[in-house]
């Protein structure tokens, strides 16, 4: 009996050691996450601007004004000429914050936005970390503060904007499309009808529809769904957008008519096109022409070109099994062609950085299987001299990795603000060609991404398999 107990004690010892090792790894990882979060806070204080929930004060003031019986779109924020510019559905969603102080509403929006960003990053990174064997919580824990630190996120949080919430809604549809493409693997084994419905992905499109009802630019995702013949998701998105808009008409008829017959077309309510914060193609052209207004025909011509390029590349990315890059290209294209894309709208650079970084990793992984090179001609009847390609795997993926790093640093530092100018007081060429380049640097980066962001064939196995299944009958007929 004592021998048996001794053997049991010996068997338990390794488990206690592994438990301590696991705890140490968890502590180290948690410390790394905390260090990255602190570094992100330092970056925000170094490169960010003074934030006081400026936009949230407008939204909060407008819904308080409205709740007190006044006309919503008659509101003008004190000491500004700015009013409420969102559709009535957005006003209904924001109405409950009239019960809160403005600072409380701003902080609640910030917490909800960071949580939404973390969930969206978990969805975007899940296929990558599963392939690499990384812990999801650790990867998301590092990625979230890094994403919060860059220009679109910190401006969204500091001004009290809703861009990260809309981003999460659209990413939710990406997840729904994944599950729909994998139908038969999850929902068939779910315990309840609700779980089976969720995992079926039949709801995909609801997020895009809701985002479109709040802001019109996400409607480009509906066009993308139609081009790629994802008809069910497209119809769900259209139905959702129309349904909630008609619901708003039923509840607040006066405000709905005022918005769609007047406010929607009053572009001066938003701001001048040449403002530095407007990093769309329209803003770029206005500043290059050193004009308050955008040259209309030139903007229209280039917008059509960028639209065709962005949607065609998105469709090609999806056809090659990379729906994340497809969605990213659509989001970037919407930013470029929109008449106004403030720097806090540019949240689609976050998945663009992920795509570039993963492309670098995938190419480096693939290069490890490259066969050795022949370094000298063999003698007659001899064996050729072989040398492993030592340098090739090291450099493979370097340009994509460098692109991801450069893109992140550009949006972290955001060099547009040191060269901010406003007509008619100061010309946009006040600091010469370099200053003009810096003031337009984010817009230039967006256009370059639409034209050159690489996609990763087979990166989303569900979509790649879906394409092969649909292509199989065509191959059989040949």
Please tell me the predicted confidence (pLDDT) of residue 63. 92
Please tell me the predicted confidence (pLDDT) of residue 366. 74
Q: Which helix (H) or strand (E) holds 376?
A: strand 373-376
**Burial (0-12, 13-18, 19+ Cβ within 10 Å), 31:** exposed
Please tell me the predicted confidence (pLDDT) of residue 16. 47
Q: Where are the alpha helices (DSSP H) in 133-272?
A: 136-149, 151-159, 163-181, 193-200, 206-214, 219-227, 231-251, 253-261
Please tell me the predicted confidence (pLDDT) of residue 5. 44
* Percent of the chain whose predicted confidence (pLDDT) is above 90: 63
Residue pointed to by tokens 């493409």: 181
The SS3 of residue 129 is helix
From the list 210, 266, 213, 217, the residue with the least C-alpha distance to 83 is 266
Mean pLDDT of 78-101: 89
* Percent of the chain whose predicted confidence (pLDDT) is above 70: 83
pLDDT tier for residue 384 given thresholds of 50, 70 and 90:
low
Higher per-residue pLDDT: 193 or 52: 52
Higher per-residue pLDDT: 20 or 357: 357
Please tell me the predicted confidence (pLDDT) of residue 168. 97
* Cα–Cα distance for residue pair 214/168, rounded to 1 Å: 13
The string of pLDDT tens digits covering residues 304-359 is 999 999 999 999 999 999 999 999 999 999 999 999 999 999 999 999 999 999 99
Please tell me the predicted confidence (pLDDT) of residue 23. 79
Residue 96's CB: how many other CB atoms inside 10 A? 11
Q: Which helix (H) or strand (E) holds 387?
A: strand 385-387
Please tell me the predicted confidence (pLDDT) of residue 8. 44
The string of pLDDT tens digits covering residues 183-229 is 755 555 566 787 777 787 889 899 999 999 999 899 999 999 999 99
């Amino acid at each position: 009996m004592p021998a048996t107990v001794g053997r049991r004690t010996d068997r338990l010892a390794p488990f206690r050691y592994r438990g301590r090792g696991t705890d140490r790894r968890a502590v180290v990882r948690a410390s790394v996450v905390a260090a990255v979060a602190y570094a992100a806070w330092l970056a925000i204080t170094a490169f960010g601007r003074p934030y006081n929930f400026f936009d949230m004060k407008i939204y909060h003031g407008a819904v308080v004004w409205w709740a007190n019986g006044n006309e919503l779109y008659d509101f003008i924020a004190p000491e500004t000429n700015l009013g409420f510019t969102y559709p009535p559905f957005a006003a209904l969603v924001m109405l409950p914050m009239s019960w809160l102080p403005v600072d409380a509403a701003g902080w609640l929006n910030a917490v909800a936005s960071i949580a939404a960003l973390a969930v969206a990053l978990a969805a975007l990174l899940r296929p990558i970390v599963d392939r690499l064997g990384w812990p999801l919580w650790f990867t998301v824990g590092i990625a979230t503060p890094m994403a919060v630190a860059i220009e679109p996120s910190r401006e969204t949080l500091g001004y009290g904007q809703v861009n990260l919430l809309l981003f999460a809604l659209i990413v939710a549809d990406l997840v729904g499309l994944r599950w729909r493409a994998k139908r038969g693997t999850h929902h068939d084994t779910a315990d309840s009808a609700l779980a089976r419905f969720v995992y079926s992905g039949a709801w995909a499109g609801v997020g895009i529809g809701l985002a479109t009802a709040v802001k019109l630019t996400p409607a480009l995702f509906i066009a993308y769904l139609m081009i790629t013949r994802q008809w069910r998701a497209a119809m769900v998105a259209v139905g959702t957008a129309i349904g909630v808009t008609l619901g708003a008409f039923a509840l607040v008829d006066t405000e709905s008519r005022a918005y769609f017959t007047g406010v929607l077309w009053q572009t001066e309510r938003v701001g001048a096109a040449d403002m530095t914060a407007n990093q769309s193609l329209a803003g770029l052209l206005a500043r290059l022409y050193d004009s308050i207004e955008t040259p209309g025909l030139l903007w229209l011509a280039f917008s059509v070109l960028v639209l065709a390029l962005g949607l065609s590349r998105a469709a090609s990315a999806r056809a090659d099994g990379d729906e994340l890059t497809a969605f990213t290209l659509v989001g970037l294209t919407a930013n470029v062609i929109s008449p106004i894309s403030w720097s806090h709208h540019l949240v689609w650079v976050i998945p663009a950085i992920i795509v570039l970084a993963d492309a670098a990793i995938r190419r480096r992984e693939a290069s490890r299987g490259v066969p050795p090179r022949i370094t000298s001609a063999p003698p007659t009847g001899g064996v050729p001299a072989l040398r492993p390609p030592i340098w090739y795997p090291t450099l493979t993926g370097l340009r994509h990795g460098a692109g991801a790093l450069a893109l992140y640093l550009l949006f972290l530092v955001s060099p547009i603000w040191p060269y901010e100018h406003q007509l008619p007081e100061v010309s946009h060429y006040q600091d010469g060609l370099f200053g003009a380049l810096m003031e337009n640097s984010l817009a230039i980066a967006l256009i370059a991404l639409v034209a050159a962001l690489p996609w990763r064939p087979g990166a989303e196995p569900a979509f790649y398999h879906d394409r092969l299944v649909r292509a199989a009958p065509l191959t059989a007929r040949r």
